[in-house]
Amino acid sequence: MIIDFHTHTFPENLAGRAISKLAASSRAKNYLNGTEKELQHSMREADVDYSVLLPVVTKPEQQKDINQIALKINRHSKETGLLSFGGIHPENRDYREILRTLAANGVKGIKIHPVFQRVPIDHIENLRIIECACENDMIVITHAGYDIGFPGEDFSSVRRIERMLDTVRPQKFVLAHMGGWDCWGEVEDRIVGRDVYLDTAFSLLPIEPAPGTARDLKENPPLSGEQFLRMVRGHGAERILFGTDSPWSSQQKMVAAIRDSGLDAREQEAVLGGNARGLLGI
C-alpha cells in the first residue's frame, strides 16, 4: 500500500485562483490544478492508495467550513482514497471544542502552518493546540522549516521546533519536509532521533519554476540522496512518511525517487505506506 501523507486540494470554485496565487509567490510549478478529481487521477497513475489532505486555516473564521468539507470527504474515503485532516487556527479560542468535535467524528489529525497562520510554533497559541490534540489522540502535522513563499521567516524554524518539542513532548507528531525545509543540516544535528515522524514532502526533487518565472538550479536545492539516506537511517525508517506536497510535486516522480533512493525493500515498504497505515489505523 502507498499512502501520500501530504497533499492539498481546494474547492473547485477556488482552486484556480488559489493555485495561481501560490505559484506566483513561490515561483514553483504546480503539477495538478488543485482539485480532488485531478489528485485522484494522479493517484491512479502513481499507484497511490490513499492521499491525506491537509487543509490550512489562514483565518479563525474559516475553520467551520473547512472542517465540514473534511467530514464530507471522509465519509467516502474508502471509495475515493482521499482522507482529510481537520484544520484549526491558533487564534480559535474554542480550540478545545473544535478538536473534541473533530476527534469524535473520526478525523485522524490536524494540520497547522505557523508561517501561513503567522504564529510561531513555540508560542502558547500553538502549544496548547498541540497539547489538546494529543489529549484527543489526534495526529498533528506541521509545516517545518522555512517556506518557499516567505524566505527567511522563522515561524517554524528548527530552533523553535526544538523548543516546542521540549515544552510539550507531543505524541503522533509529524514534521513536514524532512523536519525542516531548506535547513536539513540543522535537522540532522538537532531533530533526527527525536520521537517525531518526518515526511518527505517537497524535499527530494529539484523545484521546477512556474511558467513565466525564473529559478536558478542552485536556489533551494533539494535534499541530497546521500543526506536523505543518512537521515532516514539515523532517525529510523519506521518514523519516515512518504509525502509529496501535491500539487507542488509529482506523485509519480516522488514514488520513483523513493524506489531509487537506495533504501532496501523493507525500508521502502515502511516509508511508502506501512508507517502511515499504522499511524492512521487503516
Nearest to 245 by CA among 11, 49, 42: 42
* pLDDT above 80 (res 217): no
Confidence of residue 214 (pLDDT cuts 50, 70, 90): confident
pLDDT digits 0-9 by tens, 43-84: 999 999 999 999 999 999 999 999 999 999 999 999 999 999
DSSP string, 55-123: ---SSGGGHHHHHHHHHHHHTTHHHH-EEEPEE--TT-TTHHHHHHHHHHTT--EEEE-HHHHT--TTS
**Residue found under cell 483565518:** 59
Distance CA 126, CA 120 (A): 7
Q: Is 112 helix (H, G, I), strand (E, B) or coil?
A: strand
Q: What's the pLDDT score for residue 218?
A: 83
Q: What's the domain count of the chain?
A: 1
Mean pLDDT of the region 130-136: 98
Q: 164: domain range?
A: 3-280
For residue 121, what is the domain's CATH number?
Answer: 3.20.20.140
Confidence of residue 216 (pLDDT cuts 50, 70, 90): confident
Nearest to 117 by CA among 185, 69, 77, 66: 66
